[in-house]
Chain A
Amino acid sequence: MTVYERDLGTPAVSAETQVSLTIDGMPITVPEGTSIMRAAALVNAAIPKLCATDSLEAFGSCRLCLVEIEGRPGTPASCTTPCQEGMTVNTQTPRLDKLRKGVMELYISDHPLDCLTCSANGDCELQDMAGAVGLREVRYSDEGENHLSAGKDESNPYFTFDASKCIVCSRCVRACSEVQGTFALTIAGRGFGSEVSTAKGTDFLASDCVSCGACVQACPTATLQEKSVIDRGVPSRKVKTTCAYCGVGCSFTAELRGDELVRMVPDKQGGANAGHSCVKGRFAWGYANHEDRITEPMIRDSIDDEWRVVGWEEAIQFAADRLKKIQADHGIDAIGGITSSRCTNEEVYVVQKMVRAAFGTNNVDTCARVCHSPTGYGLKQTFGTSAGTQDFASVQDADAILVIGANPTDAHPVFGSRMKRRLREGAELIVIDPRAIDLVRSPHIGAQHHLQLRPGTNVAVVNAMAHVVVTEGWVAEEFVNERCDVESFKAWERFIALPENSPEALEETTGVPAAAVREAAETYAKAGNGAIYYGLGVTEHSQGSTMVMAMANLAMATGNIGRPGVGVNPLRGQNNVQGSCDMGSFPHEFAGYRHVSDDSARALFDSAWGVSLRGEPGMRIPNMLDAAVAGKFRGLYVQGEDIAQSDPNIHHVEAALKAMDCVIVQDLFLNETARFAHIFLPGTSFLEKDGTFTNAERRINRVRPVVPPLSGMSEWGVTCAISEAMGYPMPYADAAEIMDEIAALTPTFAGVSFALLDEVGSVQWPCNGEAPMGTPVMHEQRFVRGEGQFVTTPYVPTDERSTRRYPLLLTTGRILSQYNVGAQTRRTENTVWHAEDILDIHAADAEARGVADGDWIEISSRVGSTRMRARLSDEIPAGVVYTTFHHPVSGTNVITTDNSDWATNCPEYKVTAVEVRPSMGAGL
């Protein structure tokens, strides 16, 4: 494993020209623009430093890193001085020694001398540097001016700010600005009075701080320190692993003291996050040891009975017997399984294998059904495979960024920060969203175009943009002719040029001024590299699949596919949505997106698995639930998903679950679905898993066990045991063997192995003979399907429309500090930021209903109603209301309907006609 953790002081530079120089007699060649500090670190000539760190631009403030350059006067700072051809640099001379000692003497003259009792003792750069420069005494009077009595800010639940230990290196301020892009911190005062402060002058909690941890990470002293380190001590060992929250898939180093996890530190080598993190991955891991964790298997005959704690063997046999009995009584297709996007590829793979091979049915689906199934459909139709086209780093090359139905700064914060960095550099931004998300206007960022459309009219807006591209003559003819199916393009061109698709014709439908659509289309088509990023605001609609294809059309027509800086990119909600789809979780597809009716693919699996697989699709989740209500579907294996909270029209879901004879829930906690379960199989947290996650950029990352499974069994092991008990053994020695089987049976994964991942960190599929180190950008030479396919995308209004009875449209989203149904984040201190779901309502709508800010309201749709508090907001237009869905008590999905995407049945969560009324209280 290549663990490369040295801090080289300044960021890497890419340049075509190389320069050669000599540092302390050692020759080195580096890209032009590389700092002397970095070059010196590369030849192991350690130059003392405090304000420099390789995640931040050089700043030049500490003045410890001074060097001498032959033929030049003075002692320039090595961090801010670039290498030049032929330079001779000396980093260690008596003059430099004396200067550095002098600088360190100044630092220590204003620093507490409590190293032995300091929480950073042994993990403090100031301490290290004092040693490195050989400081032995401080000659300044200890009665001089100092900051030793400065106060401590402990308001953030996860870290403290101890101003008395601050050396004013600005690393925290710079990290907040450069890396995170929040600008919550600043230096207040000047000269000796300079001090780190929140930009608003408040404590950390009340500030704009998003608790991403970048400042804590950057701090060279104990000034910004994790409370867990203060409580538990400096860590003694490390394990590299992958975060289990969102689809960004950040790499982390889990730092432990003995077997106790002390902190999670983002990995600088992480391909997805490059050393950055968000509040969830960095700090909100406490749920893994929460007292609510169930660690022993439990069974019960009926959901009216109490749970009975049993041994693994009994639980497994009980499950197998029940499932077999159902099949004997009601047919093979009366059972099925649901895989989880929270689980590893290996765990998912064995569940779908169990369903297909042991159950003998294709009734397997995944929770991606309710999020990104339209992505799978739409991108497969147009490009040939179900995957985002780019790596995250690609955004760095984008000139125009089109964000549709996504809120990266909250839902994909680490990628959001990358995007913000590029936006600050000058990329143009188009936001298509009913809501003014943070990106529309935040520090140093402003969207050039915000198309604030009516919920449910995505296709109309993107069609209108495409109409402008086609009718203005902005089509990338060469790309279309060379790379795409020209017949399909011509048909699409005729369709999209129809007057009914013009921005003017659609203005009334979408609510977006035609001129704004025209300007946005011009920006996307003409800025250079145009990149589309989208989220569930695209997919969770009745035309989710159509919209994915409409975006693909737009990207192809403008030539924005197949190179860095462009592409069509789904921002995946959960850590392993991509992976769970890749692993053959859909009822119609085997691993690698091969249809079950594909005889050659089926033959491959038949022979490998020693079974005869079915060639027709199985049921999707909603069909399973419908069949359950109809009495035809009676047994379900639910891996790490809470369909009784996360799926739409909860009353219907509950009726289906109640109707079944055997519901098996494999999870960390007794979730809502478990109320209807007969068997509860304790799952493993990401800290206990051994396997891989695949993030939104197709990056396969290793998840390594940090602690042993609390339940005593791996999740894949439990699945295999049930399969074996049903008569189909799946004997894997370890997770690596599962991946070996996946690689052997899936062409796009052919080169993947744990050994490779351990060696290179991560790879992006396709990873095979053609691309042994993976594929950062897809469709570079040709589309996966050969030629890019244009698909006509008529706008069809959803049936879910505002009516006199339900005049408002509800749309939903996520917030930074909480995660999906909140099972994890609600069990952490993240609740200080978001203790409840709140309904955002426009002032005009609120006034008309007699609702004031903070009032309890009742919100109802045609299927149900729930209560929550209201907040008056100008982020949404009149006629639209918005809420999050992190708290089960708010029951958002009690009111969402059965409407779904026409092609994939992905629920139409983003549009529900509702009415809002004042309510007396929580009422629950």
Chain B
Amino acid sequence: MSGVVEQDARLVVMANQIANNVPVGGEVPQQVADHIGKFWTGAMRADLKRIAEHSSDQLRQEVVAAVALLA
């Protein structure tokens, strides 16, 4: 299922990019969680949680922290 791998890779890139780009001054994990909560589907959020659990080394620390904040 290379497609699934590809899809995961995209989510990693997206999440890291969000963490890298949110406005400065606020708490990054909260901003990332808010953004993902607002624009991602439930399935994408679930996938990200799964990635954070199994291979969190691909994710920036702020993203890992954000995942914990996701509903």
Contacts and interface: CB of A to CB of B under 8 A. Distances in A.
Interface of A: 333, 362-363, 491, 495, 542-543, 546, 587-588, 595, 597, 616-620, 622-623, 626-632, 659, 791-794, 796, 898, 902-905
Q: Is the interface of A mostly helix, strand, loop or mixed?
A: loop
Interface string B1-30: 111101100100010011011011100000
B4 A630 contact: yes
B25 to A, nearest CB: 5
A902 B6 contact: no
B57 to A, nearest CB: 19
Contacts of A791: 23
B35 A903 contact: yes
B48 to A, nearest CB: 12
Interface residues on B, range: 20 to 34
A495 B10 CA distance: 31
A898 B7 CA distance: 12
Given A793-B23, A903-B21, A629 B42 contact: no
Contacts of A630: 1, 3-4, 6-7
Nearest to A628: B3
A333 B41 contact: yes
9 closest cross-chain pairs (CB), A and B:
A630-B3, A629-B3, A902-B21, A902-B17, A792-B23, A626-B7, A630-B7, A630-B4, A792-B24
A791 B22 CA distance: 10
7 contacts: A495-B25, A588-B39, A620-B39, A622-B10, A626-B3, A626-B10, A630-B3
A905 B4 CA distance: 19
A793 B26 CA distance: 12
B38 A588 contact: yes
A238 B39 CA distance: 46
Contacts of A796: 20-21
Given A630-B6, A796-B20, 10 more contacts: A362-B41, A542-B17, A595-B38, A618-B41, A623-B44, A627-B7, A630-B3, A659-B3, A792-B24, A902-B17
A628 B44 CA distance: 13
Contacts of B3: 626, 628-631, 659
Contacts of B38: 588, 595, 597, 617
A904 B41 CA distance: 14
Contacts of A546: 21
Contacts of B42: 616
Most chain A CB within 10 A, of B17, B35, B40, is at B17
Interface of B: 1-4, 6-7, 10, 14, 17-18, 20-21, 23-25, 35, 38-44
Nearest to A795: B21
A623 B41 contact: yes
Nearest to A898: B10
Contacts of A626: 3, 6-7, 10
A106 to B, nearest CB: 71
Contacts of A588: 38-39
A362 B38 CA distance: 13
Contacts of B14: 902, 905
Contacts of B25: 491, 495, 792
Given A629-B6, A905-B14, A495 B41 contact: no
A585 to B, nearest CB: 14
Contacts of B23: 791-794
A546 B17 CA distance: 12
A624 to B, nearest CB: 10
Given A616-B42, A792-B24, A631 B10 contact: no
B10 A617 contact: no
Given A617-B39, A618-B41, A902-B18, A495 B6 contact: no
Contacts of A495: 24-25
Contacts of B20: 796, 902
Contact of B7 (A542, A595, A629): A629
Nearest to A798: B17
A630 B47 CA distance: 13
A597 B25 CA distance: 26
Nearest to A631: B3
Nearest to A597: B38
A543 B21 contact: yes
Contacts of A616: 41-42
A659 B1 CA distance: 12
A502 B33 CA distance: 31
A277 B15 CA distance: 44
Nearest to B43: A333
B39 A794 contact: no
A616 B7 CA distance: 20
Most chain B CB within 10 A, of A588, A595, A616, A620, is at A616
Contacts of A622: 10
Most chain B CB within 10 A, of A595, A629, A792, A793, is at A629
A392 B20 CA distance: 36
B21 to A, nearest CB: 4
A602 to B, nearest CB: 15
B20 to A, nearest CB: 6
A333 B41 CA distance: 10
A628 B2 CA distance: 12
